[in-house]
Amino acid sequence: MNLPSSVDRSNTCDSRLPTMPLDYPDRNLINQDSFSDLERWHHEGAGQLETIEGGGMRMGCLGSRQGGPGCMAFFRSDLPDGIAVTYDLVVNSHGGLIINYLALRGVNGEDVISDRDRLRPRTGVMKNYYAAKWGLQSYHVSFSRFDDEGHHTATSNWRRNPGCILAGHGTDLVREIGRRYTIRVTKDFGSLQLYVDGAFAHGIIDRSEGRHPIPDWGKFGFRLIGSNVSADVFNFRVHRIDPHPAPRLNLEDE
In order of their start, the domains of the chain are 33-244 (2.60.120.200)
What residues contact residue 22 under an 8 Å CB cut-off, 6+ apart?
Answer: 186, 188, 191, 193, 203, 244, 246, 247
Tell me the pLDDT tens digit for each residue of 31-49. 999 999 999 999 999 999 9
| Percentage of residues in the chain having pLDDT higher than 70 | 91
Question: Looking at residue 79, what DSSP letter applies?
Answer: B
Q: What is the pLDDT of residues 70-108, one digit of tens each?
A: 999 999 999 999 999 999 999 999 999 999 999 999 999
For residue 121, is the peptide bond before it cis, meaning its omega torsion is within 30 degrees of 0? Answer: no
pLDDT value, residue 19: 83
Helix (H, G, I), strand (E, B) or coil at 120: coil
| Bridge partners, residue 192, by sequence | 187, 204
98 neighbors 143 (Cβ within 8 angstroms): yes
* Interatomic CA distance for residues 137 and 132, integer angstroms: 9
How would residue 18 be classed by pLDDT, with cut points 50, 70 and 90? low
Residues contacting residue 179 through CB under 8 Å, at least 6 positions apart = 90, 91
User: What backbone phi and psi angles, to 5 degrees, belong to 133?
Assistant: -70, -15
Sign of CA dihedral 12, 14, 15, 20: negative
Residue 211: band (very low, low, confident or very high) from pLDDT cuts 50, 70, 90: confident
